[in-house]
Amino acid sequence: MIRYFTAGESHGPALSAIVEGLPAGVALVEADINDQLARRQQGYGRGGRMKIETDRAEVLSGVRFGKTIGSPIALVIRNRDWENWTTPMAQFEDHATEVQKITIPRPGHADLTGVIKYGFDDIRPVIDRSSARETAARVAAGSLAKAFLRQLGIQIGSYISTIGPAAESATPASLQALLDAGAESLAAEADKSQVRMLDPEAETAAIAAIDQAKADGDTLGGIVEIYITGVPMGLGSYVQHDRRLDSALAAAIMSIQAIKGVEIGPAFDNARKPGSQVHDELFAGGEKGLRRETNRAGGIEGSMSSGQPIHIRAAMKPISSLVSPLRSFDLATLEAVQSRFERSDTCAVPAAGVVAEAVVAPVIANALLEKIGGDHMAEIKERLEAYREALRMRFGG
């Protein structure tokens, strides 16, 4: 089973990740990992931190001659901004008397609940670990799982359909062709846009909305569309709650900072329709083989992959740090005050799509390994092709 852990603070020396369970023989290219990190840093509406950091991952273990060797992979991403934080974030030297404590929590952030839970009298430790800066480590870790899946014909991509009041008016005309080419083609097309949108009119409206929010000292959220193509039928299971594929994918997406809603396919729209307009009819035989003509289930039926593209929609709330502050109070005095501002973005929805791609990759990889097993790539490829061939022999195509 692939699992990973991250460590590090936003203004500490570095972020790190340990990835365990990746099979041996997965071909890795260092530039590919760093390309994913660069994608995460892009997007209209990002803040000043992106001008400081140029994220690059150092691989410290688990890779030899460009291929995984089956042992844990250690990744480190240095924080260039650390040199400005050596005193307030010192690890062993005590500078408590030199550093002003942060005692005003920001509404909507982890600040208040974090200091209460861990018994701090300074919010700084909460800010630095709860920060979405942590997702750089997850993008690096997820890029390894994406590489594993890519070599098995499974691709993951995303685009943005909504930012604040700006939303695409209909499903982009180019979407199906991009999915037919593989979800990474979708991601590449989205990356051409400053806000990762496929609809030019929606892109223009989104940029204007971000500019207005910045002028108002406000922030914007949005909706991310994630697609996974090439997934074979039958990943996941209905027999136990913790083996349900949609449950695992939703949990992974909800683990991303500021994500507050998830649906598989057009789930909320489906909830307003009769079943006859929702469920995907089934066909078999002929050159097309086993198929569905629609995909309102979002690629998952009975908590298992249906063989169609998996479609996940994620709602991201506006960022909690506002230049124009909301009301709060001082933890030290309980006096009512205006909330404080921590350097942040106006809009990070485009980056959330890249993070979402990364966090769903280990979920799909684990579901695949549970289905077919294997410890090295040659073995896994052989088993997956045998499984796909068995489906073709039974249903055509």
pLDDT digits (tens, 9 = 90+) for 227-265: 999 999 999 999 999 999 999 999 999 999 999 999 999
* pLDDT for the residue 48: 62
pTM: 0.95
CATH class, range 3-395: alpha beta
pLDDT at 90: 84
Question: Annotation-wise, does 131 bind a ligand?
Answer: yes
291 annotated ligand binder? no
Task: Determine whether the annotation assigns residue 343 to a binding site.
Answer: yes
Calculate the average pLDDT of the chain.
95
User: What residue spans define the domains of the chain?
Assistant: 3-395
Q: Which residues contact 166 (CB under 8 A, 6 or more apart)?
A: 202, 205, 206, 208, 209
Q: Which alpha helices (H) appear in 49-174, and where do they start and end?
A: 49-52, 111-118, 124-130, 135-150
Q: What is the pLDDT of residue 51?
A: 61
Q: Per the annotation, does 150 bind a ligand?
A: no
320 in a labelled binding site: yes
Would the annotation count 61 as a binding residue? Answer: no
| Three-state SS at 273 | coil
pLDDT on residue 285:
81
Confirm or deny that 39 is annotated as ligand binding: no
The answer on whether 383 is annotated among ligand-binding residues is: no
Ligand-binding annotation for 257, yes or no, is yes
Intervals of the chain under pLDDT 50: none
pLDDT score for 52: 65
